[in-house]
Amino acid sequence: MTHVMIVGSGPTGLTLAVELARRGVDLRIVERSPEPPTGVRGKGLQPRTLEVFDDLGVIDEILATGRPYPSLRSYQGDQVVWEGRMDEPREPSAGVPHPNLIMQPQWRTEAILRDRLAELGHRVEFGAEVTDVEQDADGVTAVLGTGERVRSAYLVAADGGRSTVRKRLGVPFRGETYDSERMSLADIRTRDLDREHWHVWGSLAGRSVHFSICPLPGTDVFQLVAPHSGRAGERDSGPDSGRDDLLALVAEHAPHVRIDEVVWRSEYRVNIRMADRFRVGRVFLAGDAAHVHSPAGGQGLNTGVQDAYNLGWKLALGREALLETYEDERMAVAEHVLGLSTRLYRDNDLKRGGDTDQLGLAYPRSALSAGERGGERLGAYFAEQRGTGFLLVGEVTGEHGWPVLPPLPGQEGVLLVRPDGYIGYHGDESGLSAYLSGFGIAAPRADAAS
């Protein structure tokens, strides 16, 4: 029996697969699509996600092939009327090693994660659609379109906003779908714009944007994003569908810009929804299967990555008391982020601040968080955090078996840092054993610690 079955191979499913694979957990990851995607959907990787990718061993490739977001250039026709930035670049620091938003086409992020997964001995099974899910006290059975029945101890649905698994579980997906607010995405080629700016037509001050054209790093294409005012289309409807609408839109507002080719095009309706539950028995919901956002602020992809990073170590340890915390921790975050992305969308504001970088997200009310700093992101010792174990920070007298690092300035008591970089326990060393036993966490033997 497979320990964990992952349904869906977007950034959420792949992050979880890499996290489990590096821990030696037996897994399968299946994807209904017959092949990897090509079009660009999400493209922004937030600082906290970059920290996760650092830990997972893919940050060098992410940074080498991506780039910081370019400055904005706003036009009326062919005249530049404003230039500025989404936010000001920040220098790396001890507490924030990856401070800036990185632009990286989603298809490449997924390819980098698939390569890392292959290094760890696993591959995505494409063309494997889950059509039904059954579970009992001992495990979960996923039924594939081929008729194969896959038995696993746990199943994670990372199969998107239209999640088959969520529907089969009967979990409500509450929120709103804005049928009148559709967006067109297109990957295009043009020789009439430079690749050093994000080009915008419309009034940023008046919060009325006709369309934007953004160069995608490491490619010869741009991403065009526009409110869709034509007839309803199908998602992923191919490069030719809607081409005339796009050409007319650009010709109306930017007649000097010629689109040489529409490489890929998709249309989507704005959805803002969250599942009533993130866990049903042995099945967990993550990423868009659990929450879908407006595109504003680049939160959706990043929140899914954080879901996977939160869940992975808990599944690997397999303690019920740990698994129970996933839903509470991530539902609170998803609710907060949904509110943030919705406000940004309604404001139609391309400028961003620190609220979107996800560095301030924490779990202060979690059952796993004990003491004054419990639930906080540690924000230190990043090199030492790489890997799969816990850390102890502070003056420790007993033998606990985990790496022990010097206390932070002004720190009192000891900090037990979870494998995902958040502080679990903050308090006297004498209370640490009771905390650990409450969640079934066993410290490694001192003579076996690395």
> What CATH number does residue 441 fall under?
3.40.30.120
Mean pLDDT of 283-292: 96
Task: Using the predicted structure, report yes or no on whether residue 26 has a pLDDT greater than 60.
Answer: yes
Mean pLDDT of 387-412: 95
Mean pLDDT of 14-26: 98
Is 408 within a domain? yes
Residue with tokens 């649905």: 157
Task: Using the predicted structure, report yes or no on whether residue 114 has a pLDDT greater than 80.
Answer: yes
Of 248, 270, 292, the last residue of a domain is 270
Instruction: Give the pLDDT band (50/70/90) at residue 344.
Output: low
Instruction: Give the pLDDT band (50/70/90) at residue 42.
Output: confident
Q: Are residues 195 and 46 in the same domain?
A: no
Edge-to-edge strands, sheet with 222-228:
79-84, 71-76, 197-203, 208-215, 222-228, 173-189, 261-275, 291-292
Query: Greater confidence, 232 or 240?
Result: 240
In the chain, pLDDT over 90 holds for what percent of residues?
76
Q: Are residues 406 and 338 in the same domain?
A: no
Torsion of CA 291, 296, 301, 303, to 10 degrees: -60
In the chain, pLDDT over 70 holds for what percent of residues?
89
Cα–Cα nearest to 413, from 427, 425, 423: 427
Range of the domain at 393: 382-448
Q: Are residues 199 and 121 in the same domain?
A: no
Express each pLDDT in 297-310 by its tens digit: 567 899 999 999 99
Is 398 within a domain? yes
Q: Are residues 48 and 156 in the same domain?
A: yes
Instruction: Give the pLDDT band (50/70/90) at residue 236.
Output: very low
Give me the helix-helix angle, 11-21 and 47-56, nearest 10°. 40
Express each pLDDT in 243-270 by its tens digit: 788 889 999 999 999 999 999 998 877 7
Of 227, 244, 270, the last residue of a domain is 270
Of 240, 255, 270, the last residue of a domain is 270
Is 414 within a domain? yes
Task: Using the predicted structure, report yes or no on whether residue 349 has a pLDDT greater than 70.
Answer: no
Mean pLDDT of 19-43: 93
Express each pLDDT in 174-213 by its tens digit: 988 776 667 888 999 999 999 999 999 987 666 688 999 9
Q: Are residues 142 and 33 in the same domain?
A: yes
Task: Using the predicted structure, report yes or no on whether residue 68 has a pLDDT greater than 60.
Answer: yes
Domain count, the chain: 3
CATH, residue 198? 3.30.9.10
Mean pLDDT of 59-81: 96
For position 297, what pLDDT does the model report? 52
Question: Which of 30-44, 104-118, 283-297, 331-345 has the highest mean predicted lDDT (pLDDT)?
Answer: 104-118
Q: Are residues 165 and 60 in the same domain?
A: yes
Mean pLDDT of 85-90: 86
Q: Are residues 309 and 238 in the same domain?
A: no
Q: Are residues 160 and 305 in the same domain?
A: yes
For position 350, what pLDDT does the model report? 47
Q: Are residues 43 and 128 in the same domain?
A: yes
Instruction: Give the pLDDT band (50/70/90) at residue 237.
Output: very low
Is 374 within a domain? no
Task: Using the predicted structure, report yes or no on whether residue 62 has a pLDDT greater than 70.
Answer: yes
Task: Using the predicted structure, report yes or no on whether residue 440 has a pLDDT greater than 60.
Answer: yes
Tell me what the pLDDT averaged over the chain comes to. Answer: 90
Is 85 within a domain? no
Is 364 within a domain? no
For position 343, what pLDDT does the model report? 60
Q: Return the minimum-mean-pLDDT range out of 49-58, 224-233, 309-318, 331-340.
A: 224-233
Q: Are residues 49 and 158 in the same domain?
A: yes
Is 44 within a domain? yes
Q: Are residues 144 and 280 in the same domain?
A: yes
Q: Are residues 279 and 310 in the same domain?
A: yes
Is 81 within a domain? no
Task: Using the predicted structure, report yes or no on whether residue 82 has a pLDDT greater than 80.
Answer: yes
Query: Greater confidence, 229 or 381?
Result: 381
Express each pLDDT in 155-178 by its tens digit: 999 999 999 999 999 999 998 877
CATH, residue 345? 3.50.50.60
